[in-house]
C-alpha cells in the first residue's frame, strides 16, 4: 500500500522474489500526496487504504511508504495484526552508515529533520557524518512521471548534496524509481562509485520471512495482480509504464473480480 506509485519498487521486489505471488496494490489517488498532510490525516488515509487491501485477505501487508510508516504504522498494526502481519518501510540508514561516511539522506521536506529521522541517525549512524537533503517536488514529479520536473528536482537536490558523499539513502519509496538518475546527478567525476541504499528489497524479503515463505525467483511469473484506487477496483495508471518496475507489474495476469 502507498498513496501512489511509491509502492512499485516493493511490489516489483516481491514479484522478483516470488513470481507466483498474487499481489494486491492498494493506492489512494483521491488523497495523494500524503506528505503535506498532518500525522492524523495520514493515519486516517493509510487506514482506509489498508482496510481496502485487508478485505482481500492477504497473507501480509507491506506499507510501502515512508510517510505512512512514520505516522501510521502503530495504528495499522493495532487494526490488522495479528491476523495480517504489517511490514513497514524504514530508510536504509543503518546499512549506509555501516559503510562509513559521509552519507546523505534524500527525503521529503517533511521527513528531513523530523524527530523520526533524527532518531534513526542517532541510533544507527553514530560517528558517521550524515547530511539531510530535502527534495521538494521530487515525489510528486515521480508520481506523475513528469520527466522535466524529475530532472529539475533531482538536479536541485544534487546541488545541496555534499560533494564528498559516498552513499545516498533514498528516504522516500518514490525515489527508488529514479535511482539511476539520482546516481548520475550526485556522482562526481573522479570520485569512488556512489552507493545508493533503497528499502524495497529488504522490505520484500522481510514480508516473506514474516509469512514463512522462501524466495523462488527462478519460476516463470504466474501470480495475479489486483489494483485498488482509494478502495475501488481499478487498473495501474499508464504512468507506471515509465518505470521498469511498473512494466514488470503491468505484465501480470489480472486477478478475478473479488467478492467478499
Rounded to the nearest 5 degrees, what angle is found at the Cα of 122, between the Cα atoms of 7 and 192?
Answer: 70
Please say whether the beta carbons of 145 and 169 come within 8 A: no
Query: Rounded to whole angstroms, how far apart are CA atoms 21 and 144?
Result: 27
Q: Which residues contact 171 (CB under 8 A, 6 or more apart)?
A: 66, 91, 105, 106, 107, 108, 111, 112, 117
Q: Is 135 a catalytic residue?
A: no
Cα separations in angstroms, 225 against 11, 47, 62, 173: 10, 21, 15, 20
Which residue bears the cell 506528505? 35
Measured in whole angstroms, the distance separating CA 69 from the mean position of its chain's CA atoms is: 10
Burial 66-76 (b: 16+ CB within 10 A, else e): bbbbbbbbebb
Query: Rounded to whole angstroms, how far apart are CA atoms 186 and 181?
Result: 9
- Alpha helices (runs of H) in the chain, residue ranges in sequence order: 8-17, 39-54, 66-80, 93-98, 115-124, 138-144, 147-159, 179-186, 200-210, 244-250
Of the residues 42, 65, 133, 154, which is catalytic? Answer: 65
Query: Rounded to whole angstroms, how far apart are CA atoms 208 and 231?
Result: 25
Of the residues 47, 72, 172, 178, which is catalytic? Answer: 172
Q: Is 65 a catalytic residue?
A: yes
Query: Rounded to whole angstroms, how far apart are CA atoms 79 and 59?
Result: 15
Catalytic amino acids? 65, 172
Amino acid at each position: 500500500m502507498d498513496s501512489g506509485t511509491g509502492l512499485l519498487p516493493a511490489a516489483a521486489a516481491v514479484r522478483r522474489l516470488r513470481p507466483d505471488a498474487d499481489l494486491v496494490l492498494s493506492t489512494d489517488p483521491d488523497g495523494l500526496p500524503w506528505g503535506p498532510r498532518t500525522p492524523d490525516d495520514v493515519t486516517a488515509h493509510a487506514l482506509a487504504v489498508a482496510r481496502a487491501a485487508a478485505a482481500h485477505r492477504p497473507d501480509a501487508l507491506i506499507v510501502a511508504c515512508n510517510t505512512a510508516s512514520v505516522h501510521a504504522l502503530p495504528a495499522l498494526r493495532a487494526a490488522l495484526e495479528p491476523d495480517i502481519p504489517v511490514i513497514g518501510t524504514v530508510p536504509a540508514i543503518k546499512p549506509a552508515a555501516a559503510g562509513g561516511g559521509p552519507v546523505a539522506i534524500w527525503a521529503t521536506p517533511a521527513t528531513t529533520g523530523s524527530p523520526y529521522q533524527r532518531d534513526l541517525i542517532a541510533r544507527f549512524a553514530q560517528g558517521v557524518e550524515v547530511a539531510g537533503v530535502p527534495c521538494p517536488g521530487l515525489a510528486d514529479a515521480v508520481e506523475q512521471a513528469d520527466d522535466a520536473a524529475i530532472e529539475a528536482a533531482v538536479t536541485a537536490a544534487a546541488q545541496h548534496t555534499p560533494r564528498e558523499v559516498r552513499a545516498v539513502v533514498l528516504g522516500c519509496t518514490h525515489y527508488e524509481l529514479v535511482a539511476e538518475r539520482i546516481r548520475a546527478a550526485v556522482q562526481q567525476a573522479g570520485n569512488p562509485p556512489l552507493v545508493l541504499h533503497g528499502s524495497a528489497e529488504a522490505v520484500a524479503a522481510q514480508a516473506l520471512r514474516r509469512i514463512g515463505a522462501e524466495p523462488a525467483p527462478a519460476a516463470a511469473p504466474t501470480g495475479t495482480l489486483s489494483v485498488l484506487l482509494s478502495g475501488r477496483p481499478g487498473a495501474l495508471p499508464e504512468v507506471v509504464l515509465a518505470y521498469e518496475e511498473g512494466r514488470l507489474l503491468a505484465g501480470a495476469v489480472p486477478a478475478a473480480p473479488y467478492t467478499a
